[in-house]
Structure 1
């Protein structure tokens, strides 16, 4: 079975630094997405996607593969219930670029 890439592009009136922080800073991610991405954001470190509600459940887990703030973040990604299965992991790449008077955020999941 081959895995295909899924890519989404968003245009946001902001700066690359602010968009990158909205992905990597738990308090900002909570405001925009209703969850927190928690890590020390160093290559090889783990990260967790934690639902920002009373239960604070860990929904997704992975490792930081590459980080070049504020333009690129690559992580592995798996459902927390499947974390022990190496085959369940995929990769997500966040590319943040200035585009005219805004930011182009491209998220590729493969």
Structure 2
């Protein structure tokens, strides 16, 4: 990555518990129901994690390392396309801050260390709002959304 970087921050309120939100991010069988991918790791600092497509092909699309894991309040991971796993400059960072908030949870996702205008920067700006809306829907109604849906134009 160049010396210039950008960041994306998304805040969403979910009628759930911090424990349920943390589990939904870290448990593969839950993540697949709202994300269409499984997040696979033992979630210990220093461990690798993989973002695996939850279909028959089981393609690993993203990889990274667990930087910090403090259940149920905080998770920090590095993040890169699997095809760029060997390029240290390709990694960005994602922080999930999960805070109980008057009978609900405030989830703040900060995706930083992004190269401005890169494919990853563009992709996550479209992807995070949809994924987090689907997470909210799953935890509040029991049903996630189609994160592979395309805009009607």
**How many matched pairs?**
110
Match of 2:100 in 1: 98
Tell me the alpha carbon deviations over residues 44-81 of structure 1, each in whole angstroms, 9 at most, x when there is no partner. 00000001011110000000000100000000000000
Match of 2:122 in 1: none
TM-score (norm 1): 0.98
Match of 2:87 in 1: 85
Tell me how far apart the structure 2 counterparts of residues 103 and 35 of structure 1 sit (CA, whole Å): 23
Unpaired segments ≥5 residues, structure 1: none
4+ residue segments displaced more than 2 Å? none
Query: Which structure shows the bigger proportion of residues in strand conformation?
Result: 1
Which of the two has higher C-alpha Rg?
2
Tell me the C-alpha RMSD between the 2 structures: 0.7
Tell me how far apart the structure 2 counterparts of residues 101 and 47 of structure 1 sit (CA, whole Å): 31
Tell me how far apart the structure 2 counterparts of residues 105 and 3 of structure 1 sit (CA, whole Å): 23
Tell me how far apart the structure 2 counterparts of residues 38 and 10 of structure 1 sit (CA, whole Å): 23
Match of 2:9 in 1: 7
How much does 1:97 deviate? 0.5
Alignment partner for residue 31 of structure 2, among 21, 29, 32? 29
Query: Which structure shows the bigger proportion of residues in helix conformation?
Result: 2
SS at 1:5's partner residue?
strand
TM-score (norm 2): 0.71
Unpaired segments ≥5 residues, structure 2: 113-153
